Amino acid sequence: MARRKRRPLIPEAREELDKLKAVVMKKQGYKTDPANPDQVKFEVAKELGIPLNNEYNGGLTSKQAGKVGGNIGGNMVKEMIRMAQENLNKRQ
């Protein structure tokens, strides 16, 4: 099964989103590799006791997959909101 690479709405934003993921997850205490930010999902899965691997993950439940992705994406969204609030405060 081919690995699906999700694409951002603005493809040029991919590099910055990957940098943001690395920074955010490093703040959360995870080891990150800015050159390969997707690797952090394996560390998150291991911490949560979810059997995520590089091959086929079709045996995972939606709940398990959501815990891994939600942890990463949720922290990224919180950081983007914090950054936006900081920018708004600077304008006032």
List pLDDT tens digits, range 17-69: 889 999 999 999 988 887 888 889 999 999 999 999 888 888 999 999 999 99
Rounded CA-CA distance 83/69 in Å is 21
Higher per-residue pLDDT: 31 or 4: 31
Rounded CA-CA distance 38/16 in Å is 13
CB 33 within 8 A of CB 39: yes
Whose CA is closest to 22, among 67, 77, 72? 72
pTM of the entire structure?
0.76
The domain locations on the chain are 12-91
